[in-house]
Amino acid sequence: MSLPITRACAGFALAAAAVAAFGLSAPRAAAADQALQAKVTQIKQAIAHNQQSLAQYTWQMEQTISVNGDVKDSQLFQVVLVPDGKPVKAAITQTPTPSGRPHGIKHRITEDYATYGKQIASLAQSYAQPDTGKLQQLYAQGAVSLKSGGAPGIVGLVINNYVKQGDTVTLTFNQAQKALLGINVNTYNSGPSDVVTMAVQFAQLADGTNHVSTVTINGQSKNMVVQQQNMNYQKRGQ
């Protein structure tokens, strides 16, 4: 008769241990979720505030396209933010080669490469200016997590399925400056095997406005690199 009693006691002990473990893990999970929500809210507020400041400016962007390390095209654009926070660019000119000979995309690379370059440059715009509404939506879906930023006060926010199913976006955020430092993206163009990676670096203007300084887009299937550099910021209307 003692054997069933022993087994019953063991069963009760295991059940009690499970309940105790759950009791300890639940508060930890709740605390972790609160910390994540706080970081998401802080980053959203910083992005929204900064977009208001950036909307007062117009600037120039130089875009250079290289294939296998050989520069094929370079263009200069004038850029402004439209009311929805997205940048709109208008071509100013094409930059000549060091020899002084124009090297427009029509003359130097095939139509196939030209189309691909435009596609991945356009794709980059979907990632370079984070959408606060989409960030909140993905947080609610459980697609956002925290990671170490590599230094005190630096936070990494990992977002999955931001633009395309299976993509990954990592925001690096300085909590003291309340500013993004960088964005790293792993995504694709036509399909998952058509891998595209992006590295976005931020800088600050004299008044503290945060802006995209450089964007490096790597289209691996065609060994193409699109480099974008923003410069010459001026207040609109001046």
Asked if residue 4 is part of any domain, the answer here is no
Q: What is the DSSP letter of 160?
A: E
pLDDT value at residue 97? 47
pLDDT value at residue 27? 60
Asked if residue 32 is part of any domain, the answer here is yes
What is the number of domains present in the chain?
1
pLDDT value at residue 7? 56
Q: Domain range spanning residue 222?
A: 13-17+28-235
E strands in the chain: 57-67, 70-81, 87-94, 144-148, 154-160, 168-174, 179-188, 195-204, 210-219, 224-235
Asked if residue 152 is part of any domain, the answer here is yes
pLDDT value at residue 14? 58
Asked if residue 135 is part of any domain, the answer here is yes
Q: Return the axis-axis angle of helices 132-140 and 2-54, rounded to nearest 10°.
A: 170
Burial of residue 135 (CB within 10 Å: 0-12, 13-18, 19+) is buried
pLDDT value at residue 17? 53
CATH assignment at residue 183:
2.50.20
Asked if residue 51 is part of any domain, the answer here is yes
The residue whose two tokens read 């910083």 is 46
Asked if residue 22 is part of any domain, the answer here is no
pLDDT along the chain (238 residues), means of 10: 53 55 56 86 94 94 93 92 86 61 51 88 91 95 93 95 97 95 97 96 95 96 96 90
Asked if residue 98 is part of any domain, the answer here is yes
pLDDT value at residue 188? 97
pLDDT value at residue 73? 87
**What does the block give as tokens for 207?**
């008044």
Asked if residue 114 is part of any domain, the answer here is yes
